[in-house]
Structure 1
Amino acid sequence: MPSLLIRGARLVSLRPEDGPAAGPAAGADPVDVLVEDGRVTAVDRSLPRPAGVEEVDAAGRWLAPGLWDQHVHMAQWTLASQRLDLGGARTPEDVTRAVAERVAEQPDLPVIGWGHRSGGWDREVTVSELDAVSGHTPVVLISGDGHHAWLNTTALLHLAMPVRDSVVRETEWFAVYPRLVTLVGNDGTSPEAYRRSLEAAAALGVVGIVDYEFGRGPLEWVERWNDGADLLRVRAASYVETLDEVLAAGLRTGDPLPGGGPRLTMGSLKIISDGSLNTRTAWCCEPYGDAHRLEYPAGQPNLSGDELREHLARAHAAGLEVATHAIGDAAVAEALASYAATGARGSIEHAQMVGRDDVRRMADLGIRASVQPAHLLDDRDITERIWGERSARCFAFRWMLDDGVELALGSDAPVSPLDPWLAIAAAVHRSADDRDPWHGEQGITAQEALAASVDGQPTVGVGSRGDLVLLDADPLADHLTSADAGAALRDMSVALTVVDGSVVHQDL
Structure 2
Amino acid sequence: MSSIVTVLHDARIPGRPEPVDVLVLDDGTVEVGPSRSWPEPGAAGSPIVVDVEGRWVVPGLWDEHVHMLQWSLARARVDLSATRSAAEAVQVVADHLAVLPDTETAPRVVGDVVVGFGFRDAMWPDLPTRAALDAVAGDVAVVLVGGDCHCGWVSSAAAQVLGAEVDASGILREEEWFEVSRRLDRQAESELDGLVVVAGTFAAARGVVGIVDLEMADNVRAWQRRVAAGATSLQVEVGVYADRLEEWIAAGRRSGDVVPDTGDLVRIGPLKVMSDGSLNTRTAFCCAPYAAGPDGEADAAGAEAADLAAPATEAHEDRGALDVEPEELRDLLLRATGAGIETTVHAIGDAAVGLVLDTYAELGIGGRMEHAQLVARQDLPRFAELGVVASVQPEHAMDDRDVVDRYWAGTSAIPYPLASLVEAGATVRLGSDAPVATLDPWAAMAAAVHRARDGREAWRPEERIDVRTALAAHARGRDEVRTGDVADLVVVDRDPFGPDEPLRDMPVWATMVGGRWTFRA
Give the TM-score taking structure 2 as reference length: 0.89
Counterpart in the other structure of 1:351 = 372
Instruction: Note if contact 2:274-2:347 (Cα within 8 Å) is conserved in structure 1.
Output: yes
Counterpart in the other structure of 2:182 = 178
Counterpart in the other structure of 1:33 = 22
Deviations 1:456-480 (A, max 9, x none): 235212211110011111100123x
Counterpart in the other structure of 1:494 = 508
* Amino acid of the structure 1 residue aligned with 2:140: T
1:104 Cα offset (Å): 2.5
Alignment of 1:267-416 (within 5 A): 267-290=269-292, 293-294=297-298, 296-388=317-409, 390=411, 393-416=414-437
Deviations 1:413-469 (A, max 9, x none): 111111111100001111113332111011111111111110223521221111001
**Equivalent of 1:231, from 230, 233, 236?**
233
1:123 Cα offset (Å): 4.3
Counterpart in the other structure of 1:217 = 219
Instruction: Note if contact 2:197-2:229 (Cα within 8 Å) is conserved in structure 1.
Output: no
Deviations 1:292-349 (A, max 9, x none): 6157111111011111111111111111111111110001001111112223432110
* Amino acid of the structure 1 residue aligned with 2:257: D
DSSP 3-state at the match of 1:374: helix
Counterpart in the other structure of 1:504 = 518
CA RMSD of aligned residues (A): 2.0
Counterpart in the other structure of 1:125 = 128
CA distance in 1, matches of 2:132, 2:477: 49
Distance 1:41 1:276, change over 3 A: closer
* Amino acid of the structure 2 residue aligned with 1:99: V
Counterpart in the other structure of 1:202 = 204
Distance 1:401 1:152, change over 3 A: same
Counterpart in the other structure of 1:51 = 45
**Equivalent of 1:140, from 138, 143, 159?**
143
1:88 aligns with 2:82: yes
DSSP 3-state at the match of 2:469: helix
CA distance in 2, matches of 1:41, 1:349: 32
* Amino acid of the structure 2 residue aligned with 1:195: V
Counterpart in the other structure of 1:436 = 457
Deviations 1:239-273 (A, max 9, x none): 11111221122111111112222221111111111
Instruction: Note if contact 2:8-2:23 (Cα within 8 Å) is conserved in structure 1.
Output: yes
Structure 1: give runs of 5+ residues left out of the alignment. 13-20, 22-26, 480-484
1:71 aligns with 2:65: yes
Instruction: Note if contact 1:353-1:391 (Cα within 8 Å) is conserved in structure 2.
Output: no
1:265 aligns with 2:286: no
Distance 1:375 1:458, change over 3 A: closer
1:453 aligns with 2:474: yes
Instruction: Note if contact 2:9-2:50 (Cα within 8 Å) is conserved in structure 1.
Output: yes
CA distance in 2, matches of 1:346, 1:179: 31
Instruction: Note if contact 1:38-1:466 (Cα within 8 Å) is conserved in structure 2.
Output: no
CA distance in 2, matches of 1:391, 1:213: 33
Counterpart in the other structure of 1:18 = none
1:104 aligns with 2:107: no
1:146 Cα offset (Å): 0.3
1:389 Cα offset (Å): 5.4
Identity over aligned pairs, percent:
42
CA distance in 2, matches of 1:336, 1:198: 34
CA distance in 1, matches of 2:147, 2:350: 21
The alignment of Structure 1 onto Structure 2 pairs a total of residues equal to: 485
Instruction: Note if contact 2:5-2:24 (Cα within 8 Å) is conserved in structure 1.
Output: yes
CA distance in 1, matches of 2:385, 2:377: 13
1:390 Cα offset (Å): 3.7
Give the TM-score taking structure 1 as reference length: 0.91
DSSP 3-state at the match of 2:29: strand
1:9 Cα offset (Å): 1.0
1:168 aligns with 2:177: no
DSSP 3-state at the match of 2:232: coil
* Amino acid of the structure 2 residue aligned with 1:259: D
Counterpart in the other structure of 1:482 = none
DSSP 3-state at the match of 1:39: coil
* Amino acid of the structure 2 residue aligned with 1:7: H
CA distance in 2, matches of 1:163, 1:232: 39
Instruction: Note if contact 1:78-1:188 (Cα within 8 Å) is conserved in structure 2.
Output: no
**Equivalent of 1:7, from 9, 18, 26?**
9
Structure 2: give runs of 5+ residues left out of the alignment. 104-111, 299-315
